[in-house]
Amino acid sequence: MTVFTSATPRSLDDPGFREHYLRLVGDGDEYGAIEAVNALLDEGVPAQRIMTDLIAGTQQRVGELWAANEWSIAREHAATAISERALASVAARTHVRPRRGRITIACVDGEWHALPVRILAEMLRLDGWRVDFLGASVPGPHLVTHLHQTGPDAVALSCMISTRLPRAHAAITACRAAGVPVIAGGRGFGPGGRYAEKLTADAWADGAEAAVARLATDWPPPIDDPSTAAFLGDDEYTWVVRGRGELIAATLEHLAATYPHVRDYDQRQTDATAEDTGHIIDFLAAALYVGDDRLFTDFIDWTNAVLTARDVPTQALAAGLRAIRDQLHDWPSSLRMLDAGLARLDPK
């Protein structure tokens, strides 16, 4: 157990405290982490600040540590579990009478990063909202059923990974068709939330505090006819998504022909290669869907950084992109995006 001694940093303004707390969650020290946040509460630090500053801030560091290959995936997951318990502990000590409307909070179907929205849920509760937290990966039909049953004033929809954007679009459209305006959040909506408007979200918020402010001061937005919004995606998008299976198979074959050692992969390695290929294709499809090359090149930059941290040569990713490119010669937008992606990998 962690015992606070005079040597333990106790203030949120002390940078040592954050390091201390990061160690606690990284060690899976549930009791230590809970003690730490409770000590802050006892000292009168506002719960909101603990949530956004400490818990969310630490979680961001955890993500960075994973990306830099300093932490294993198991450690990342364990740390997230501890953060959730610390958050629950903070939440359990704060009581606020609902005085605003009702809000539904969900992660888009296939989206599993629940901690950021859990923090948002608690922040909104503290701000006087009645909150229905539906959790990670909520299928669209479940979300809409919930809206009909509870009739909330807003839906807060989170998407951390851009490949879920088509599903986010379907969910946003369905919510708005049911008469409930949507505030979008999460990195998946692109830098500055650039894809949120395209997907007809009524608002986008850069983080929990911004969402709380927007909902408190400028809500509801004016209602328009949701059916007037244009469809997104084109035949190229449709082709890439529908042909995903064949596209992966053809890419793997191509890789095997170019890199003979691929043929010696066991099932796990083959699975992993197929999964990576699928991942690239999914980002390509999402970029086609919103019609923005940058979605794809941002993904390539990020993937390259993650792979480099794991000593995977840039050439491996480039080979994958080229193998996919060779399957898509009839599709101009895909070619343009893949070429833009390859250009990012080119060491000038």
| Residue selected from 97, 149, 230, 231 as contacting other proteins according to rule CB under 8 A | 149
Q: Which of 184, 38, 51 is nearest to 108 (CA)?
A: 184
Q: Which of 289, 283, 295, 111 is nearest to 199 (CA)?
A: 289
| Residue selected from 7, 13, 44, 73 as contacting other proteins according to rule CB under 8 A | 73
Question: Using CB under 8 A, which residues numbered 247 to 286 contact other proteins?
Answer: 248-249, 252, 267-268, 271, 274-275, 277-278
Per-residue x/- marks for other proteins, 177-216, CB under 8 A? Answer: xxxx------------------------------------
Contact between 176 and 196 under an 8 Å Cβ cutoff? The reply is no
Shortest distance, position 240 Cβ to other proteins, whole Å: 13
Q: Judged by CB under 8 A, how many residues of this single chain contact other proteins?
A: 53
DSSP 218-285: S-SPPP--GGGSPP---HHHHHHHHTHHHHHHHHHHHHHHH-GGGGG--HHHHHHHHHHHHHHHHHHH
Q: Which of 98, 60, 67 is nearest to 305 (CA)?
A: 67
Shortest distance, position 304 Cβ to other proteins, whole Å: 21
Identify which range of 108-116, 193-201, 204-212, 335-343 contacts other proteins by CB under 8 A. 108-116
| Residue selected from 10, 75, 100, 130 as contacting other proteins according to rule CB under 8 A | 75
DSSP 158-184: E--SGGGHHHHHHHHHHHHHTT--EEE
Question: How many Å apart are CA 71 and CA 61, to the nearest integer?
Answer: 11
CB nearer other proteins, residue 32 or residue 116: 32
Identify which range of 79-87, 124-132, 288-296, 327-335 contacts other proteins by CB under 8 A. 79-87
Shortest distance, position 227 Cβ to other proteins, whole Å: 8
Which residues are 204's β-sheet partners? 184
CA angle 267, 269, 273 (to 5 degrees): 115
CB nearer other proteins, residue 29 or residue 53: 29
Q: Does 151 bind other proteins (CB under 8 A)?
A: yes
Per-residue x/- marks for other proteins, 128-147, CB under 8 A? Answer: --------xx-x-xx-xx-x
| Residue selected from 4, 49, 68, 72 as contacting other proteins according to rule CB under 8 A | 72
Q: Does 30 bind other proteins (CB under 8 A)?
A: yes
Q: How many residues does the chain have?
A: 348
Where helices occur in the chain by DSSP H, the ranges are: 15-26, 30-42, 47-49, 57-67, 73-92, 115-126, 140-150, 165-177, 194-198, 208-217, 235-242, 244-258, 267-290, 293-309, 314-325, 332-345
Contact between 76 and 65 under an 8 Å Cβ cutoff? The reply is yes
| Residue selected from 88, 92, 216, 223 as contacting other proteins according to rule CB under 8 A | 223
Question: How many Å apart are CA 50 and CA 94, to the nearest integer?
Answer: 12
Identify which range of 86-94, 176-184, 193-201, 285-293 contacts other proteins by CB under 8 A. 176-184
Q: Does 244 bind other proteins (CB under 8 A)?
A: yes
Question: How many Å apart are CA 46 and CA 56, to the nearest integer?
Answer: 14
Catalog residues that contact other proteins under the rule CB under 8 A.
1, 23, 26-32, 72-75, 77-78, 80-82, 109-110, 112, 136-137, 139, 141-142, 144-145, 147-151, 167, 177-180, 223, 225, 227, 244-245, 248-249, 252, 267-268, 271, 274-275, 277-278
